[in-house]
Structure 1
Amino acid sequence: MTTQVPHEVEESPVAGALFVQVQQFYGRHMRAMDEGRVADWTGDFTPDAVFATNARPEPQRGRDEIARNAAAAARQLEEKGALRRHCVTTLEVGEGSSGVLVARMYALISKTVVGSPSELEFVCTCQDELVRQSGRLFIRHRQVYRDDLPRT
């Protein structure tokens, strides 16, 4: 018989109103990318943000680099006539040190080519560090792990 070890929470959970604000942030953020509004999507990152993923050997550093890569991805999808949708689920938000919010979620990413069935393209685990600047949330650090690739 196995004994379950209690899960220790690293940060304290946030109040309901803040949780809803973070949910709204992700709804707007993901919709911007899915609609090809790359500047709106990358505008949600701090100028010195880091975007790391196990799909790339090195993290993207800075909003400008993130924007260049996002624009290239959006162009490739448009050329293929493909639509991509990011569905964020199981969102968990906690407050870390110095008021940084830590958001953990799964992202289910579908792809549809008009006239073809939609398919689940990727399943990812994501963790963002969110900071507030001028009353607005920004992503300071994003870590994405695609389930189909080794975690390196």
Structure 2
Amino acid sequence: MSPTDQLVANTEGTELYIEVQHFYGRQMRLLDEAEVEAWAATFTEDGVFAANAHPEPARGRAAIEAGARQAASQLAAEGIQRRHWLGMLEVAPRADGAIVVRSYALILSTKLGGQAEVRLSCTCDDVLVRKDGQLLVQDRRVFRDDLPKG
């Protein structure tokens, strides 16, 4: 089943949208500050992170954390600060209680002593679920604009 199957009308409106915005603000800040364990904890234990830039999806929180840790180490070694900006969110609850979120993502890179630049432009399709009252990513699909979507 695709993430957009079984969409229902957004009757929760503004409160849900604000909650999702807050979730992403915290999640992206954790990633940009190299808090990879805390960032990975924003995924379900069986979460999936797939990207058209990766040959295979990362499956499970441990694999997602390992990938983020490797990327953070490489960026630190190169003296690069990354910032992720998500915007243009489309938030839609599904009948099963999950929330489908589609967004645009810009990834900015700044080399120590250098100028900030837009490194990547992407779309992001997430399925969020609630566990113990907290939003978590169950499934993330990232599509870089410079690569085939396939």
TM-score range with shorter-chain normalisation? over 0.9
1:107 has 2:70 as partner: no
Residues in 1 aligned to 2:102 and 2:9: alpha-carbon distance in whole angstroms: 13
Residue 48 of structure 2 is matched in structure 1 by 50
> How far 1:12 moved relative to its partner?
1.9
2:9 matched residue in structure 1: 12
- Offset of 1:11 from its aligned partner? 3.5
Aligned mates of 1:77, 1:137 — CA distance in 2: 28
Q: Does 1:71 align with 2:69?
A: yes
- Would you say how many aligned residue pairs link Structure 1 and Structure 2? 144
1:1-152 paired onto structure 2 within 5 Å: 10-13=7-10, 14-152=12-150
Task: Give the aligned residue type for 2:14.
Answer: G
State the shift of 1:10 in Å: 4.2
Q: CA deviation at 1:121?
A: 0.4
Q: 2 CA distance for matches of 1:40 and 1:48?
A: 16
SS in 1 for 2:96: helix
TM-score, normalised on structure 1? 0.92
CA deviation vs aligned residue, 1:30-78 (integer Å, no higher than 9, x gap): 0000011101110000000011110011111000000000000000000
Distance 1:28 1:10, change over 3 A: same
CA distance in 1, matches of 2:106, 2:88: 11
Q: Give runs of ≥4 in structure 1 deviating > 6 Å.
A: none
In structure 2, distance between residues paired with 1:90 and 1:137:
19
Structure 2 letter corresponding to 1:12: A
2:115 aligned counterpart, secondary structure: coil
CA RMSD of aligned residues (A): 1.2
Alpha-carbon distance between aligned partners in 2 of 1:97 and 1:63, rounded to the nearest angstrom: 25
Question: Percent sequence identity over matched residues?
Answer: 46
| Length-normalised TM-score, structure 2 | 0.93
Quick check: which has more Rg, 1 or 2?
A: 1
The runs of 5 or more residues in structure 1 that have no matched partner are: 1-8
